[in-house]
Amino acid sequence: MGLSAPGRDDAMLWDIACPPRPSRLPGVAMAGFADRGSTPPDLRLIPHPAVTLLLVLGGSIAVEDTAGQRHRGSFVIGPGFGEVLRTLEVRAVDCLQVRLPPMIAHTVLGPAAADLDASVVPLDALLGPEANRMCERLNNFQTWNARFAWTDAWLTRRYTAVAPRVHPEVMWAWRRIADDRGSIRIEPLATELGWSRKRLWSRFHAQLGLTPKRAASLIRFDHAVHGLVAGRPPAEVAADNGYTDQSHLHREIRAFTGLTPATVIREPFLAVDSTAWGWPGRSSSTDSLLDQSSGPRPPVRGRNSST
């Protein structure tokens, strides 16, 4: 399938491929992009409640973050990376995008994944020489399906090679925030766990790389912006997603993207979500990050965890 940029022109930006079946790891999503030579230099990558890997398999990509730092090649993006990440250059590239729920990223990429916060780092900063070997191997495959299968097997091997590094209580807290679409208050959440607010804040941030409040804002934003893309009125989106009013929604979209609700819906990467990953028919895009049925049950109130 192909994708053009809404509101820009009729040129196709990318050919898009999606896996024929879900990943073996719950919540992991992949998509393949082949540049058709018309990717605009100001393309924005919209923040998302996941750790994102962009694996460049041919050609090159150069991006710039909000701090003005430039990155070239394959890289990793922390959840909710600042206001926006812009492409500076795309040259005849095949790119495999992998989105990892923060708890899986912490295990697959190591504890350093929790230090990403809202930053962008080269892939080899987390994987070392294996980053180049991985991209070279993927580039040698002739089909996207082969690339998806190899990547899924690689992720699964890394995930199962070690015990999950994220505390069950932190995983449960993430799911509660996501189930509530980011509208839950953090203090009652800590009470449900039998933790202090400070303890939940510090454990959550140390293991997932963002605070509970930041996670809630990002998940709420993700639901809201996809509601806007689906054509729902801003006032209705604001009310359904726990914003105090439409102005609150406007401020949060501006904070995450630098855009207004009226302009953010024209961003191509939002269309990619529903085009490549089959989200139409689900309640929202974040559903793919909530499929954690194999995870721990809600903890008993007052239960303590090892430090």
* Mean pLDDT confidence for 161-165: 72
Q: Same domain, yes or no, for 66 and 173? A: no
**Close Cβ partners of 143 (under 8 Å, ≥ 6 residues apart):** none
Q: Where is the domain boundary, 128, 161, 194?
A: 161
Is 218 part of any domain? yes
Q: Same domain, yes or no, for 23 and 111? A: yes
Tens of pLDDT, residues 138-150: 999 999 999 999 9
Q: Same domain, yes or no, for 8 and 138? A: yes
Helices (H) and strands (E) in the chain, counts: 12, 9
Tens of pLDDT, residues 71-96: 778 888 888 665 556 666 677 678 89
Averaging pLDDT over each range in 14-18, 41-45, 91-95, 241-245, which range is the top one?
241-245
Residue 91 β-bridge partners: 60
Tens of pLDDT, residues 275-290: 444 333 333 343 444 3
Q: Same domain, yes or no, for 134 and 181? A: no
For the whole model, what pTM was predicted? 0.80
* Mean pLDDT confidence for 7-15: 57
Is 142 part of any domain? yes
Is 302 part of any domain? no
Q: Same domain, yes or no, for 73 and 137? A: yes
CATH at 140: 2.60.120.10
Predicted pLDDT at 305:
36
Asked if 291 and 27 touch (Cβ cutoff 8 Å), the reply is yes
Residue 162: pLDDT above 80? Answer: no
Is 8 part of any domain? yes
**b (16+ CB within 10 A) / e for 83-106:** bbbbbeebeebbbbbbbbbbbbbb
Provide the terminal-to-terminal Cα distance of the chain, rounded to the nearest Å: 48
Query: Can you tell me which residue has the tokens 């924005």?
Result: 44
Q: Same domain, yes or no, for 90 and 228? A: no
- Return the SS3 of 81: coil
151 vs 67 pLDDT, higher one: 151
Q: Which band of pLDDT confidence, cut at 50, 70 and 90, is reported for residue 209?
A: confident
Across all residues in the chain, what is the average pLDDT?
79
Residue 240: pLDDT above 80? Answer: yes
CA distance 264 to 266: 5
Is 226 part of any domain? yes
Residue 69: pLDDT above 90? Answer: no
Helical packing angle, 168-179 and 197-208, nearest 10°: 100
Helical packing angle, 197-208 and 186-193, nearest 10°: 90
Q: Same domain, yes or no, for 115 and 177? A: no
CA distance 214 to 203: 14
CA distance 247 to 239: 11
Residue 23: pLDDT above 50? Answer: yes
Q: What residue numbers bound the domain in which 130 lies?
A: 2-161
Is 85 part of any domain? yes
Predicted pLDDT at 282:
35
Residue 31 β-bridge partners: 97
Predicted pLDDT at 201:
92
Q: Which band of pLDDT confidence, cut at 50, 70 and 90, is reported for residue 196?
A: very high
Predicted pLDDT at 176:
93
Tell me the C-alpha to C-alpha distance, in Å, between residue 92 and each of 35, 95, 168: 6, 10, 43
Q: Same domain, yes or no, for 67 and 203? A: no
CATH at 276: 1.10.10.60
Q: Same domain, yes or no, for 129 and 247? A: no
Residue among 165, 111, 134 nearest 53 (CA) = 134
Task: Say how many domains are in the chain.
Answer: 2
**Close Cβ partners of 15 (under 8 Å, ≥ 6 residues apart):** 1, 2, 33, 34, 36
Residue among 36, 33, 22, 113 nearest 76 (CA) = 113
Q: Same domain, yes or no, for 30 and 155? A: yes
Q: Same domain, yes or no, for 88 and 23? A: yes
Q: Same domain, yes or no, for 280 and 190? A: yes
